[in-house]
Amino acid sequence: MRNQLKSSLCGLVFILAGLPAVAEQPASEKETVNTQTVDNQAVNISVAEIASQPIQQPQQTSNSEQIKEVKKPTVNAKKKSGVQKKPRRSKVKATKNLLNFNFAYDPEEGDFNGAVGSSNDQWNFIDYGQQKLQQVRFADGTESDIEVNVSENDGEWGITGDTGIYHGYIYHNCRCVDLSVSLKYLPAGIYEVYVFAHGDAPNQNAAIEVESGSVKLTGKTTLNDGTWNFRSKKFQDENQYVRYVAEVEPGSEMTITSKRDGSNYSMFNAIQLKRIAKP
For residue 222, report the phi and psi dihedrals to the nearest 5 degrees: -80, 175
Q: Which residue segment(s) compose the domain that 220 sits in?
A: 98-277
Q: What is the CATH number of the domain that holds 264?
A: 2.60.120
**In the chain, how long is the greatest CA-to-CA distance?**
136
Q: Is 65 inside any structural domain?
A: no
Number of other CB atoms surrounding residue 141 within 10 Å? 16
- How do residues 12-70 score in pLDDT, each as one tens digit? 434 444 444 433 333 333 333 343 433 444 334 443 443 444 434 334 334 433 444 44
* Residue 68 C-beta-side C-alpha neighbours within 13 Å: 5
d(CA 9, CA 256): 111
Under 8 Å between Cβ of 214 and 246: no
The confidence score (pLDDT) of residue 95 equals 75
Q: Is 214 inside any structural domain?
A: yes
The confidence score (pLDDT) of residue 93 equals 56
277 by Cβ neighbours in 10 Å (0-12 / 13-18 / 19+) ranks as exposed
Tell me the pTM. Answer: 0.71
Please, what is the average pLDDT of the chain? Answer: 78
Q: Is 56 inside any structural domain?
A: no
Q: Is 199 inside any structural domain?
A: yes
Q: Is 154 inside any structural domain?
A: yes
Q: What is the mean pLDDT of residues 159-176?
A: 96
Q: Is 185 inside any structural domain?
A: yes
Q: Is 118 inside any structural domain?
A: yes
How many secondary structure helices (H) and strands (E) does the chain include? Answer: 3, 15
Q: Is 104 inside any structural domain?
A: yes
Confidence band of 108 (pLDDT split at 50, 70, 90): confident
User: Distances from the Cα of 59 to the Cαs of 51, 56, 62, 160, in angstroms?
Assistant: 22, 9, 10, 20
Domain count, the chain: 1
- How do residues 216-243 score in pLDDT, each as one tens digit? 999 999 999 999 999 999 999 999 999 9
What percent of the chain has pLDDT above 70?
Answer: 66
